Structure 1
Amino acid sequence: MKNTDMNIRNIFNSNYLKLIAIIAMTIDHATDLLFPGFPSQPAPLVLHFVGRLTAPIMWFFVCEGFHYTKDVKKYMMRLGVFAIISHFAYCFGFGISLNPFEGGIFNRTSVMYPLFIAVVILYIENYVTSLKKWQKILINTILIFSAFPADWSCIAVLAILGMYSVRGNLEKQMIKMTGWVFCYAVVSYFFVSKTYAIELIGILMVYPVLKLYNGERGKAKWMKWFFYLFYPLHLVIIGIIRVLVYGNVNICL
Structure 2
Amino acid sequence: MMEKLAPYRVFTSSSLKLIAVITMLIDHFGATVMSQAILKLPAVKADADLYHNMLILYRLIRYIGRVAFPIYCFLLVEGFIHTHSKMKYLLRLGIFVLISEIPFDYAIYNHWFYPDKQNVFFTLFFGMLVMVLVDRFRNDWLQFLIMAVGVYLGWLFKTDYGARGVFLICTLFLVRYARPIQCLAGALIMQYELTAPLAFVPILLYNGEKGNLKMKYFFYWFYPVHLLLLGLARDIVLFYFG
TM-score interval, smaller chain: 0.7 to 0.9
Find 2:113's aligned residue among 86, 98, 110.
98
Query: In 2, distance between residues paired with 1:85 and 1:246?
Result: 26
Displacement, 1:179?
3.3
Paired positions, count: 218
TM-score if structure 2 supplies the norm length? 0.80
Instruction: Check if 1:209 corresponds to 2:202.
Output: yes
Q: TM-score, normalised by structure 1?
A: 0.77
Aligned-partner Cα distance in 1 for 2:148–2:205 = 34
Amino acid of the residue matched to residue 239 of structure 1?
A: G
Deviations 1:121-170 (A, max 9, x none): 111111147xx776665555444222221111111100010011111323
In the aligned structure 2, how far is the partner of 1:34 from the partner of 1:171?
A: 37
Question: What is the rounded CA distance, in whole Å, between the counterparts of 1:178 and 1:227 in structure 2?
Answer: 24
Change (3 A) 1:99 1:230: closer
| Identity among equivalent pairs (%) | 28
Give, in whole Å, the separation in 2 of the partners of 1:135 and 1:96. Answer: 39
Give the match for residue 43 of structure 2: none
Runs of 4+ that moved beyond 3 A: 37-41, 132-143
**Structure 2 unpaired stretches of 5+:** 40-50
Q: Aligned letter for 1:217?
A: K
Match of 1:178 in 2: 187
C-alpha distance in 2 between matches for 1:241 and 1:34: 7
State the distance in 2 between where 1:50 and 1:150 align.
21
CA RMSD of aligned residues (A): 2.6
Question: Is the helix fraction higher in 1 or 2?
Answer: 2
Which residue does the alignment assign to 2:233? 241
- Residue type matched to 1:209 in 2? P
Q: Which amino acid aligns with 1:204?
A: P
How do residues 43-82 of structure 1 correspond to structure 2 at under 5 angstroms?
A: 43-82=57-96
Contact kept, 8 Å, 2:23 with 2:64, in 1: the verdict is yes
SS in 2 for 1:28: helix
Q: What is the letter of the counterpart of residue 213 of structure 2?
A: A
Read off the aligned partner of 2:212 and give its amino acid letter: K
- Give CA-to-partner distance per residue, 1:147-196, whole Å, 9 cap, x none: 221111111100010011111323212232233334xx3xxxxxxxxxxx
